[in-house]
């Protein structure tokens, strides 16, 4: 819907000139929204995934982040293959978060951001994949980090009814996402830009259709 100013300019300017000015104005507004309101500039400064106020966010695409931020996670148990800024976010919003990490130095940095999180250090593939057995099952399972294909195969039977599986970088790790295709789950691909990253990616979320 055009504003009064837009209607006025539309009435006095040639269509081509109006469209050129509008394209420039809209582009500036969109850049401002992404850089400052969504936190892209702050993320680039921090070298990680944060919002405009510097709070940690899951390092997914912005559409996926918006979806996660709109969910009530307060009663959900989360498991992550791969710890990071998402661990810090879930530790503040979910009932619990358990993550597995293969690098001790990064694990320590994550615990600084999320001291209440349970971050398991597992330096071998076997221990890393088995870390999901820390609890019987989870509401959200994130497949990220190392050995993703093996981790995806280890998810079987660990998701609660009505839960969701998040596969980050599904465009690059198509084989990982394929593990959940054809399993009766609803797949939604959240394409878009990612904090700190200057190109589009895909965060795929698989929703369990079973009623709780």
Summarised one tens digit per residue, pLDDT across range 22-77 is: 898 889 998 898 888 889 999 999 999 999 999 999 999 999 999 999 999 999 99
Assess contact for 73 and 93: CB atoms under 8 A.
yes
Q: How far apart are CA 158 and CA 146, in angstroms?
A: 19
pTM given for the model: 0.91
Q: 14 in helix, strand or coil?
A: coil
CATH, range 53-207: 3.40.50.150
160 and 25 in contact (C-beta within 8 Å)? no
Q: Each residue of 139-159: pLDDT tens digit?
A: 999 999 999 999 999 999 999
Instruction: Single out the residue of 85, 6, 78 nearest to residue 39, CA to CA.
Output: 85
- Residue recorded with tokens 């597992």: 122
* Among 83, 134, 90, residue whose Cα is nearest residue 107: 83
Q: What residues does CATH 3.40.50.150 cover in the chain?
A: 53-207
């Amino acid at each position: 819907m055009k504003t009064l100013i837009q209607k006025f300019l539309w009435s006095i300017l040639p269509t081509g000139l109006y469209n050129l000015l509008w394209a420039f104005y809209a582009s500036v507004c969109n850049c401002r929204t992404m850089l400052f309101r969504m936190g892209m500039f702050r993320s680039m400064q921090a070298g990680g995934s944060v919002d405009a106020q510097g709070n940690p966010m899951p390092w997914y695409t912005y559409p996926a982040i918006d979806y996660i931020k709109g969910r009530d996670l307060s009663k959900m148990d989360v498991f992550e293959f791969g710890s990071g800024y998402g661990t810090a976010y879930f530790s503040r919003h979910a009932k619990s978060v358990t993550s597995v990490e293969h690098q001790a130095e990064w694990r320590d940095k994550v615990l600084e951001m999320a001291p209440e999180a349970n971050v398991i250090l597992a330096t071998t593939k076997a221990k890393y994949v088995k870390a999901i057995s820390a609890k019987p099952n989870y509401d959200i399972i994130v497949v990220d980090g190392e050995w993703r294909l093996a981790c995806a195969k280890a998810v079987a039977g660990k998701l609660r009814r009505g839960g969701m599986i998040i596969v980050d970088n599904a465009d690059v790790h198509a084989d990982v996402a394929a593990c959940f295709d054809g399993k009766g789950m609803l797949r939604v691909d959240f394409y878009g830009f990612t904090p700190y990253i200057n190109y589009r990616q895909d965060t795929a979320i698989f929703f369990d259709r079973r009623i709780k």
